[in-house]
């Protein structure tokens, strides 16, 4: 009830906050200044009062030495306390943030001018536009009053604020008077180790607090140049998904992923050459049809229910180096030794289309990794229908646009010196800074994958795909397309509402805490 009447926006920023840390530094330095004054009053002054000869230079040695020592210790103490507090995101971290934002706003001339009558005439008084700052654990919220002449400039501020705060914009909300920008801080501390990455029948957690609900928002796209940490992320996904379902791998460049063919758990599940990749995805289409037939023929068949309702294990297809496959397909000409026409990239796109659009409900999911994400590489059927979108390493702005689309409120920044760092979008909210999982120092990939247990799967090989069954499956698929889209939209809406409600609860707790303090 209270939040509908009044909402706590945080501390209002003022122009004097441009020197906030200097002011606090002086306060911390003040005890040393008091001690210094006391010393000079008790020691230095009596010396010069007794010895009236001010030209005796030896009398100055001790006072000067003590003065310099106390000044140095005072400055060192103040600097240490402030810096230490900043590093721990303590009291002075929030003060420095207020100072930084205020300075930038002042330099950008986010000021309002009022005329004030004085005895000497009319005086112009400048004030910062109404801006509020609130810090909540790992989040900073900056709130602006929109009722001023800077309305349009304020709406364009999120990209600048991300740079000023070195934080990620996670939400922006507005009403008729105010706009709230919420930022997530210090994502690197949320980074997980390889062994910590877990998946269940609904989701996979790739970083603390960062999850992909693949069952509701299926399929993924990973863009990463060489050496950006893509292998770490793929290994973590293979490990997590391989414990709850079966993972199929394709690597047209015959690099790291192709080596999984040597491990027992991945026998007959790893392909590299173009013809085998086509065969793998043709088998995926057949598998999809059989799984749908299995669901339809199940005694508890219920329209609209997905694979988990029938206790079916999910199937995951990871295609590494998508751009390399497209490059090979573009150069495909002539015929195979058996006389068949060589498949090209359009054949592969036609093969992908039904899988991307219809495979989710029967529990088949696809993840595509690439070093290049231009329009000629990533087909629109993939780009428009993936739920997970990840970039790692140094990516061009065109690359970010290709993966995430055009986010006007978001600015993507490259930090190439940080291995495995990039951006993550799971279909809800906005893209966030992301760090791929790290291997433990003792991790031995050869031993780990050699000992990896057999992956669980639902056997549907007994399902016969005769003409009648195929017709039944196709009719069912046609009937669920609208349901699929509605379910996806419903999940996204519910997830966004959940994030909003969590924020409102935190605000109520802060308000309640403030009222309790006032009563005391």
Which of 436, 404, 320, 425 minimizes the C-alpha distance to 370? Answer: 320
To the question of whether residue 74 is assigned a binding role by annotation, the answer is: no
Q: Cβ neighbours of residue 298 under 8 Å, at least 6 residues apart?
A: 310
Please check whether residue 393 is in contact with residue 378, taking contact to mean a CB–CB distance below 8 angstroms. Answer: no
Main-chain phi, psi angles of 408, to 5 degrees: -70, -30
Q: From the CB of residue 4, how many other CB atoms can be counted at a distance below 10 Å?
A: 6
Question: Could you identify the residue written with the tokens 């509402």?
Answer: 497
Phi, psi of 464 (to 5 degrees): -100, 125
Two tokens at 42?
């008790």
3-class DSSP state for residue 244? coil
Strand 388-392 to strand 364-370: parallel, antiparallel, or no bridges (unpaired)?
Answer: unpaired
d(CA 499, CA 520): 32
Please check if 230 is assigned to a binding site. yes
Q: Please give the Cα distance from 452 to 104 (Å, whole number).
A: 53
Residue linked to tokens 């330095």: 29
What does the alpha-carbon distance between residue 413 and residue 161 come to, in Å, rounded to a whole number? 13
If you ran DSSP here, which 8-state letter would residue 342 be given?
P
- Other beta carbons within 10 angstroms of residue 265's beta carbon come to 17
d(Cα 388, Cα 220) in Å, to the nearest integer? Answer: 4
Question: Do 187 and 166 touch, CB atoms closer than 8 A?
Answer: no
167 marked among binding-site residues: no
Judge whether 228 is annotated as a binding position: yes
CA distance 342 to 321: 20
CB 283 within 8 A of CB 301: no
Angle at which helices 20-39 and 58-87 pack, to 10 degrees? 150
Q: Can you say whether the dihedral through the CA atoms of 82, 86, 89, 95 is positive or negative?
A: positive
**Residue 225 marked as a ligand binder:** yes
Decide if 432 contacts 184 (C-beta within 8 A): yes
- Give CA–CA dist 472/449, Å, rounded: 40
CA distances from 243 to 194, 227, 271, 327 (A): 14, 27, 21, 33
The span from the CA of 59 to the CA of 53, in Å, is 9
* Contact criterion met (CB below 8 Å) for 392 and 223: yes
**393 marked among binding-site residues:** no
DSSP helix/strand/coil, 307: helix
Task: Scan for tokens 């419903």, then name that residue.
Answer: 490
Binding-site entries: 224-231
| Residues in the annotated binding site for ATP | 224-231
């Amino acid at each position: 009830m209270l939040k509908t009447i009044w909402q706590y926006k945080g501390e209002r920023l003022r122009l004097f906050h441009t020197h906030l840390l200097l002011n606090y530094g002086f306060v911390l330095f003040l005890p040393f200044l008091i001690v210094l004054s006391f010393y000079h009053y008790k020691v230095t002054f009596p010396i010069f009062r007794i010895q009236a000869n001010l030209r005796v230079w030896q009398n100055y040695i001790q006072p000067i030495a003590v003065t310099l020592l106390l000044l140095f210790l005072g400055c060192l103490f103040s600097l240490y306390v402030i810096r230490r507090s900043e590093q721990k995101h303590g009291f002075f971290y929030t003060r420095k943030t207020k100072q930084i934002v205020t300075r930038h706003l002042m330099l950008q001339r986010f000021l309002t001018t009022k005329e004030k009558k004085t005895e000497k005439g009319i005086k112009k008084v400048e004030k910062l536009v109404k801006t509020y700052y609130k810090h909540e654990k790992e989040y900073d919220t900056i709130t602006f009053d929109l009722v001023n002449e800077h309305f349009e400039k304020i709406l364009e501020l999120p990209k600048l604020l991300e740079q000023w705060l070195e934080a990620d914009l996670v939400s922006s909300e507005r009403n008729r008077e105010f706009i709230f920008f919420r930022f997530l801080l210090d994502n690197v501390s949320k980074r997980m180790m390889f062994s910590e990455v877990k998946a269940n029948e609904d989701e996979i957690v790739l970083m603390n607090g960062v999850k992909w609900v693949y069952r509701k928002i299926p399929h993924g796209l990973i863009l990463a140049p060489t050496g950006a940490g893509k292998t770490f992320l793929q290994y973590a996904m293979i490990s997590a998904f391989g414990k709850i379902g079966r993972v199929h791998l394709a690597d047209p460049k015959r690099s790291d992923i192709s080596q999984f063919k040597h491990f027992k758990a991945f026998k007959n599940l790893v392909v590299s050459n173009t013809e085998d990749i086509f065969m793998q995805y043709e088998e995926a289409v057949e598998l999809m049809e059989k799984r749908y037939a299995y669901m339809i023929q199940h005694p508890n068949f219920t329209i609209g229910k997905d694979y988990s309702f029938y206790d079916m294990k999910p199937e995951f297809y990871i295609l590494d180096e998508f751009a390399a496959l497209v490059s090979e397909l573009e150069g495909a000409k002539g015929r195979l030794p058996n006389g068949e026409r060589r498949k090209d990239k359009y054949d592969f796109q036609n093969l992908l289309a039904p899988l991307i659009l219809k495979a989710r409900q029967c529990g088949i999911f696809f993840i595509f990794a690439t070093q290049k994400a231009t329009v000629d590489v990533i087909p629109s059927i993939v780009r428009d229908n993936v739920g997970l979108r990840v970039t790692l390493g140094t990516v061009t702005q065109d690359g970010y646009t290709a993966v995430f689309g055009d986010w006007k409120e978001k600015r993507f920044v490259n930090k190439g010196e940080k291995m495995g760092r990039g951006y993550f979008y799971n279909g809800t909210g906005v893209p966030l800074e992301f760090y791929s999982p790290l291997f433990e120092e003792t991790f031995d990939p050869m031993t780990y994958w050699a000992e990896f247990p057999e992956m669980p799967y639902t056997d549907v090989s007994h399902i016969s795909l005769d003409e009648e069954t195929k017709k039944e499956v196709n009719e069912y698929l046609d009937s669920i397309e609208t349901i699929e889209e509605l379910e996806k939209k419903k999940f996204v809406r519910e997830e966004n509402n959940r994030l909003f409600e969590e924020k409102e609860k935190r605000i109520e707790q802060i308000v309640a805490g403030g009222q309790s303090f006032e009563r005391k």
